[in-house]
Amino acid sequence: FLRLYTTPAPTPSAIPVLGKTYPTDAYTNITPAIVSKVSRQLHLQDGHPICTLRALVEDHFADFAHLRSVSPLVTPYQNFDSLSFPEDHPGRSKTDSYYLNQDMMLRTHTSAHEVEVFSEGKERWLLTADVYRRDEIDASHYPVFHQMEGAKIVSSDEAGVQAMEEDSRRLEHELSQSNIIIEDVPHVSGTNPAQPEHDPRHSEIMAKNLKLSLNSLMYKLFAGVAGATKEDPLRVRWIEAYFPFTSPSFEVEVFFRGKWLEILGCGVVLQSTLDRANVANEMGWAFGLGLERIAMILYSIPDIRLFWSEDPRFISQFKAGDITTFKPYSKYPESYRDVSFWKPQEGLHENDVYDVVRDIAGDLVEDVKMIDQFTHPKTGRESMAFRVTYRSMDRSLVNDEVNALQEQVIERLREHLRV
Ligand code: FA5
Ligand code: MG
Contacts of 142 (CB under 8 A, 6+ apart): 135, 292, 304, 305, 307, 308
The pLDDT of 153-170, averaged and rounded, is 97
d(CA 179, CA 227): 11
Q: Please give the residue that has the higher pLDDT: either 8 or 54.
A: 54
pLDDT tops 90 at residue 255: no
Residue 146 CB–ligand 1 contact under 6 Å: no
The alpha carbon of 230 is separated from its chain's Cα centroid by a whole number of angstroms, namely 32
Check: CB of residue 126 under 8 Å from CB of residue 286: no
CA end-to-end span of the chain? 15
Q: Does the Cβ of 48 fall within 6 Å of ligand 1?
A: no
Per-residue pLDDT of 76-97, as tens digits, reads 999 999 999 999 999 899 999 9
**191 vs 254: which has the higher pLDDT:** 191
Q: Which uninterrupted H or E stretch holds 210?
A: helix 200-222
How does strand 259-269 pair with strand 20-23? Answer: unpaired
Between residues 1 and 190, the one the model is more confident about: 190
The residue whose CB lies within 8 Å of the most ligand 1 atoms, and thus the one to mutate among 42, 111, 242, 354, is: 111
Q: Catalogue all structural domains in the chain, each as residue range(s) with its CATH number.
A: 32-315 (3.30.930.10), 332-417 (3.30.70.380)
Q: Determine the pLDDT at residue 227.
A: 57
Q: Cα–Cα distances in Å, from 91 out to 76, 96, 275?
A: 10, 6, 23
Best probe residue, ligand 1, of 50, 106, 147 (max atoms within 8 Å of C-beta):
147
Nearest alpha carbon, ligand 1 atom 10: 266
| Confidence at residue 244, expressed as pLDDT on a 0 to 100 scale | 97
User: What pLDDT score was predicted for residue 3?
Assistant: 43
Q: Is 206 in the pocket of ligand 1 (CB under 6 A)?
A: no
Mean pLDDT of 261-290: 97
pLDDT of residue 179: 86
Query: 251 CA distance to ligand 1 centroid (A)?
Result: 9
Q: E strand or H helix at 295, and its extent? A: helix 291-299
